[in-house]
Amino acid sequence: MELFMGNKHVLFLAFFFIASWVMQLSAVSATTKIRFGSNVLGNVSLNCQTKNGDPWTKVFKPFNGESWEISEATFCNVTSDEKGFIDTFAFYDPKRDSVRCPLSCLWAAVDFGVIGRNDEYFAYADLFLYWKKPKVAGNEAAKRQ
């Protein structure tokens, strides 16, 4: 009986390890929730591209946001009517973000730029990108003269 119980425990442990291993495997291929919110006046447009997919754009009205699922590396640039432009950056990088924000990653357009953090209530922003003011193009200036 003792031995029998022992075997049961071993079986249980084996099952437990296999189950957690399977869960880890599925976590690797799972999608991650992304949230983007805008805290600035004027529309903000997020222009993105994946390696093999078509480019896509989302437009955020002032003080609006949206969540969606993302599953592959995604690169984006951001244009704010009011604030300027941010060059292409890694919006979602599975290698970086499976550690940074395994369940949900948040980006927010704010006064000085776009900030990224783990979408948990107390998480600090850990990625900072700053608006570039659009250059007053030479020909724009010239047109006014």
Ligand X SMILES: *[C@@H]1O[C@H](CO)[C@@H](O)[C@H](O)[C@H]1NC(C)=O
Binding site for ligand X (CB under 6 A): 43, 47-49, 55, 59, 61, 77, 88
Find where tokens 């951001």 sit: 78
Q: Which residue, 75 or 104, has its beta carbon nearer to ligand X?
A: 75
Least Cβ distance, residue 31 to ligand X (angstroms): 20
Q: Under a CB-based contact definition with an 8 Å cutoff, are residues 115 and 86 in contact?
A: no
Least Cβ distance, residue 43 to ligand X (angstroms): 4
Q: Residue 38 forms beta bridges with which residues?
A: 109
Least Cβ distance, residue 10 to ligand X (angstroms): 53
Q: Which residue, 39 or 49, has its beta carbon nearer to ligand X?
A: 49
Measure the CA–CA gap between 90 and 50, rounded to whole angstroms: 10
Q: Residue 142 forms beta bridges with which residues?
A: none
Backbone angles phi, psi at 10, to 5 degrees: -65, -45
Least Cβ distance, residue 107 to ligand X (angstroms): 15
Q: Which residue, 102 or 134, has its beta carbon nearer to ligand X?
A: 134
Q: Which residue, 7 or 67, has its beta carbon nearer to ligand X?
A: 67
SS3 assignment, position 18: helix
